[in-house]
């Protein structure tokens, strides 16, 4: 394997880690395993998958152990309790050592095969973010997402159409420098831009959830983004960034 947080393995060029946060997804995982294996067979760069078990209380941990123990490109970490999506993504970034790092949900509402559309934009861009075309969500979920995206763009003017699309690839150097906080996953493109990074958005397919249940409801899709956006504005106004004009030898 070529992911590690020990410092014993040097980062390799043109390698990719897919982070998959998992919280009580026992019904979705079998189909996800098949979809990610198909992607691994077509990926143009050496690719590993790192599942982050975010304190699941169902059979997800057992399914991850069983599959990852037999597949050399699949790995998992189990957190000691449920921390939430932002922490799971940070844990994945902290424990990968590849030049690119991506993120996808385990519910298969987006498909790993769409990652194949992203690679042509590197190294010109520092992040590629999906735009979920023809979303197959409930009306309430669509409306709450539209409201949250509109409010975020109004408040921080990041120009991103679908910041929470769960299909992203980032240069790992940029991912590691992102300031992390609860709710950070809603601002990953803006956090890359904060470092001066270039973000490209491209359309990706979107599908109905075929198994399991969503972990989000109207309250946490509206109240959370409201306060998180205020937190991001505060953090951005105090973010330290500088350039060096000259130095001694």
What is the C-alpha R_g of the chain?
A: 18
- CA distances to 157, 178, 215, 235, 242 from 189, in Å: 12, 10, 22, 15, 20
76 forms bridges with which residues in the sheet? 51
- Please check whether residue 249 lies inside any domain of the structure: no
Write out pLDDT tens, residues 117-167. 999 999 999 999 999 877 665 555 666 666 666 666 666 777 888 888 999
128 forms bridges with which residues in the sheet? 169, 200
In angstroms, how far apart are the furthest CA atoms of the chain? 61
Q: Tokens 């040097």 appear where? A: 10
- Please check whether residue 185 lies inside any domain of the structure: yes
- Please check whether residue 206 lies inside any domain of the structure: yes
- Please check whether residue 99 lies inside any domain of the structure: yes
What is the reported pLDDT for 33?
98
Mean pLDDT score of the chain? 84
Domain with residue 25: its CATH number is 3.90.550.10
Write out pLDDT tens, residues 38-51. 999 999 999 999 99
3-state secondary structure of 168: strand
Lowest mean pLDDT among 155-169, 171-185, 214-228: 214-228
Angle between helix axes 29-40 and 60-68 (nearest 10 degrees) is 30
What is the reported pLDDT for 2?
44
Please give the model's pTM, rounded to 2 decimal places.
0.81
Q: Which domain holds residue 54?
A: 14-237
- Please check whether residue 202 lies inside any domain of the structure: yes
Round to whole Å and give the CA distance between 82 and 17. 22
What is the reported pLDDT for 213?
63
- Please check whether residue 243 lies inside any domain of the structure: no
- Please check whether residue 5 lies inside any domain of the structure: no
What is the four-CA torsion angle of 132, 138, 144, 150, rounded to 10 degrees? 30
What is the reported pLDDT for 3?
41
- Average pLDDT rounded to a whole number, residues 80-87: 94
Number of Cβ within 10 Å of residue 97's Cβ equals: 21
CB 211 within 8 A of CB 31: yes
- What is the total count of domains within the chain? 1
- Please check whether residue 7 lies inside any domain of the structure: no
Round to whole Å and give the CA distance between 249 and 247. 7
């Amino acid at each position: 394997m070529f992911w590690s947080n020990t410092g014993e393995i040097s980062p390799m060029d043109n390698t990719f880690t897919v982070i998959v946060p998992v919280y009580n997804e026992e019904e979705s995982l079998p189909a996800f395993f098949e979809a990610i294996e198909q992607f691994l067979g077509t990926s143009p760069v050496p690719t590993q998958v790192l599942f982050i078990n975010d304190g699941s209380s169902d059979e997800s941990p057992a399914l991850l152990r069983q599959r990852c123990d037999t597949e050399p490109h699949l790995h998992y970490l189990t957190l000691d309790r449920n921390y939430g999506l932002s922490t799971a993504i940070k844990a994945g970034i902290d424990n990968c050592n590849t030049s690119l790092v991506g993120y996808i949900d385990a519910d298969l509402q987006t498909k790993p095969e769409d990652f194949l559309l992203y690679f042509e934009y590197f190294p010109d861009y520092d992040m590629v973010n999906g735009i979920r075309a023809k979303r197959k969500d409930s009306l309430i979920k669509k409306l709450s997402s539209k409201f949250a995206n509109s409010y975020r763009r109004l408040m921080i003017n990041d120009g991103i159409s679908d910041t929470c699309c769960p299909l992203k690839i980032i240069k790992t150097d940029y991912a590691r420098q992102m300031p992390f906080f609860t709710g950070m996953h809603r601002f990953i493109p803006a956090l890359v831009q904060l470092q001066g990074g270039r973000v490209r958005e491209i359309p990706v397919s979107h599908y109905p959830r075929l198994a399991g249940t969503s972990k989000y409801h109207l309250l946490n899709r509206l109240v959370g983004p409201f306060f998180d956006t205020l937190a991001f504005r505060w953090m951005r106004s105090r973010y330290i960034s500088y350039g060096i004009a000259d130095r001694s030898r």
